[in-house]
Amino acid sequence: MASTTALRRLTLGGFRPARGFHSSARALIKVGDKLPNLDVLVENSPGNKVNLSEEVKTGKSLLIGVPAAFSPGCSNSHIPGYINHKSLKDAGKVFVIAVNDPFVTKAWGVSLDPEGKSGIRFLGDPSGKFTEALDLAFDGTAIFGGPRSKRYALVLEDGKVTAAHVEPDNTGVNVSTGEKVLG
Amino acid sequence: MVKVGDSIPSVPLVEKEPGNHVDLSKELGSGIIIGVPAAFSPTCSDSHVPSFVAHPKIKDAGKVFVVSVNDAFVMNAWGKTLDADKASGIRFLGDPSGAFTRALDLEFDAAPLLGTNRSKRYAMVVENGKVKSINVEPDNIGTAVSTADKILG
């Protein structure tokens, strides 16, 4: 598909930070890390903030990062692979995060799971700050006008990362699928 | 800010897929450009664009485009929710970097809420490639002057 090819060409060209100034250090999130304590994620509307580091403090959680709400890879394969997974309920609290605004992520979530049966919550990271703090952003300027999230799945327990599955080419649907992560 | 008599900027927009470019300076001709702040937001989705989709004179308006600072995937999906069978003929275009909107000087700082600069809400009538009329919402996001009844009667 033309768009996937364009995305691959873009990401293989190397990562260039889209923003020059960072107020906090970025380090690629790894096993044992906690999530950054930021108040930038939003759910359903711009005023509805979600602090994920608080949400994942106890029990099991799963964060799924995607490059683009409504894009074919994200919509047709990656997220449905989780929605339809037989062991989804054992994964604890599940969040999908995209560098999109919350109107878009809400509409996308509704299109993928109209009745919310999966329990998956769709969050927006409109400024990309949360994603950049995990060092999981790539430069999507050419196609998207700004930074976007790599495709990834982070498994957490009691607030700490126990497994990190990050697509090596940023956008492929290989190591971060429901099959690979949930079994 | 863009004014009556100006030409349409030759800054490409995207339709359906990131690689599919549309140059409105070549497409128009005559028609209407409708600018919106945010695809899928309540006002854009429930009032502004539907007022055009449903307008009895929409087919006589020439080529009609909705433009927003969103990517091609989002615009394509949004267009389908508003006009699934494309009966209105309205085309939904993305301005992912905001370059087209900036060229018209019609962007506003929406970063605190939406992460990026966005387009003001406006409706522009184009005739023979030049701006014939331009109605820009004074508060950027309201629906006082740019709805279909104000533009199409």
Where does the pLDDT of residue A4 fall: very low under 50, low under 70, confident under 90, or very high at 90 and above? low
Chain B residues within 8 A of A144 when measuring between CB atoms:
18, 71, 96
Catalytic residue from among B33, B36, B44, B124: B44
Q: What is the pLDDT of residues A58-108, one digit of tens each?
A: 999 999 999 999 999 889 999 999 999 999 999 999 999 999 999 999 999
| B113-146 pLDDT, tens digit each | 899 999 999 999 999 999 999 999 999 999 999 9
Residue B64, pLDDT above cutoff 90:
yes
What is the per-residue pLDDT across A29-44, written as a single tens digit (0 to 9) for each?
999 999 999 999 999 9
How confident is the prediction for chain A on average, in pLDDT? 89
Whole-Å CA distances, A172 to A4, A45, A65, A109, A165:
9, 29, 12, 20, 12
What is the C-alpha to C-alpha distance for residues B153 and B149, in angstroms, rounded to an integer? 5
Looking at the predicted complex, does its ipTM rise above 0.90?
Answer: yes
Instruction: Answer yes or no: pTM beyond 0.80.
Output: yes
Strand order, beta sheet including A60-66: A49-50, A41-42, A121-124, A93-98, A60-66, A152-157, A160-166
What confidence score (pLDDT) does residue A17 get?
A: 46
CA B26/CA B32 separation, integer angstroms: 14
Could you tell me which of A171, A166, A174, A179 has the C-alpha nearest to residue A28?
A: A166
- Of the pLDDT bands very low, low, confident and very high (cuts 50, 70, 90), residue A27 is confident
Chain-chain contact of A3 with B73 (C-beta, under 8 angstroms): yes
Q: For residue B93, is pLDDT > 60?
A: yes
pLDDT in tens, A124-141: 999 999 999 999 999 999
Residue pointed to by tokens 């199409």: B152
Alpha-carbon distances of B97 from A47, A56, A60, A144, B13, rounded to whole Å = 24, 34, 38, 7, 9
Residue of A nearest to B17 (CA): A3
